[in-house]
Amino acid sequence: MPDRIYNFSAGPATLPYSVLQQTAKDVVNFQDSGMGIVEISHRSPWFAAVIAEAESLLRTLLAIPDNYKVLFLQGGASSQFFMVPMNLLSPGKKAAYLNTGVWSKKAIAEARLFGEVVVPYSSEAAGFKRVPTPDEYQVDPEAEYLYFVSNNTIYGTQYQEMPTAPMPLVADMSSDFLSRPVDVARFGLIFAGAQKNLGPAGVTVVIIREDLLDRAPATVPTMLRYKTHAEKGSMFNTPPCFAVYMVREVLKWLKALGGVQAMREINEGKAGLLYQAIDKTPFYRGHAEVGSRSRMNVTFNLPTAELEKKFALEAANAGMAGLKGHSSVGGCRASIYNAMPREGVEQLARFMRDFAARNAAV
């Protein structure tokens, strides 16, 4: 293999090469301390500066209002599936969930352990090929929050217009966090596992409006209360220091590149190249409905499963890995998160045209 390939995996996913190179230095000797970043006490001034800068960069990049806390937690997005209702769904109350794929279904199942769940919209019967527009559902006004998944990695769908509701919005943005601007003030809580756009697996960012911190019942264990971590600046216990460090490096990279405004344009450009390649020939069929297409995960099918297998294999041999679709839907998937260079997408688009020409019904 060459030193560097294009990695189209859905997550853990490609990260900026310059960040990897800096990490390689810092893992052995961080800021001339004579210690690696993985060895440094989380109570040291070195690490205090790392986590403070990570938070500060996030606040700047997303223009997070002052009445929101930023938390760095462990346990992945999957832990948020239960932490959200455990903290926000008061006993005897209900919550509303938009069901647009496997990850919202899992979140719904966990929420049902804590209270009533209403589902004002589901695209399950339609194979999760779409996400709704706001006029397609009505939220029970008694619901304490409206939960949705902003981007669905498996199906390649993404809200281009965010849901609206009179109650706090809760969003799982794991797979498109920082890929575009977001009006944080419209949300009660946003969470994102790091391993798509933000850093390595092992840390989850939670952005929570302060007034929601006090809702958890007294029976909730200390570590599972958002308030515990909010009050201690995510340092109630030892945080996943290395992952937080890498998040900081990725955020520095994103800021230097122009932030989320610039990133949205870059991402729309990259996704456009692949959707053009799909739409240009009947050889490829996009999985998601056109209006719901994701800028992060481009899902498509070829005429046969055999050709799909051949496609992923030939692409991998040409230095483009991870193009096999998720086992639950099959087909192919190109995950093109923030750190995927445009050159990688251009190479894939060329490969797609070439592969279609070579393999279209002969």
Is the distance from CB of 73 to CB of 204 less than 8 angstroms? yes
214 is catalytic: no
Q: Is 34 left (phi over 0), alpha (psi -120 to 50) or beta?
A: left
Of the pair 64, 320, the CB lying nearest a copy of itself is at: 320
Cα(268)–Cα(290) distance, integer angstroms? 14
Of the pair 165, 247, the CB lying nearest a copy of itself is at: 247
Q: What angle do CA 38, 41, 45 make, to 5 degrees?
A: 115
Catalytic, out of 26, 69, 129, 172: 172
Q: Cβ–Cβ contacts within 10 Å for residue 281, how many?
A: 13
Rule CB under 8 A: say whether 20 interacts with a copy of itself. yes
Closest CA to 55 of 235, 302, 278: 235
Of the pair 202, 286, the CB lying nearest a copy of itself is at: 202
Rule CB under 8 A: say whether 359 interacts with a copy of itself. no
Of the pair 247, 356, the CB lying nearest a copy of itself is at: 247
Is the distance from CB of 130 to CB of 158 less than 8 angstroms? no
3 state DSSP class of 147: strand
Rule CB under 8 A: say whether 175 interacts with a copy of itself. no
Amino acid at 63: A
Q: Which of 110, 144, 176, 308 binds a copy of itself (CB under 8 A)?
A: 110
Rule CB under 8 A: say whether 40 interacts with a copy of itself. yes
103 is catalytic: yes
Rule CB under 8 A: say whether 13 interacts with a copy of itself. yes
Q: Is 172 left (phi over 0), alpha (psi -120 to 50) or beta?
A: beta
Rule CB under 8 A: say whether 115 interacts with a copy of itself. no
69 is catalytic: no
Catalytic, out of 26, 69, 103, 129: 103
Determine which helix (DSSP H) or strand (DSSP E) holds 73, and give its type and residue range: strand 68-73
Catalytic residue annotation? 103, 172, 196
Give the interface with a copy of itself as residue ranges (CB under 8 A).
1-5, 7, 9-15, 17, 20-21, 23-25, 27-29, 32-36, 38-42, 44, 74-79, 81-82, 86, 106, 109-110, 113, 193, 195, 199-203, 219, 221-224, 236-243, 246, 319, 321-322
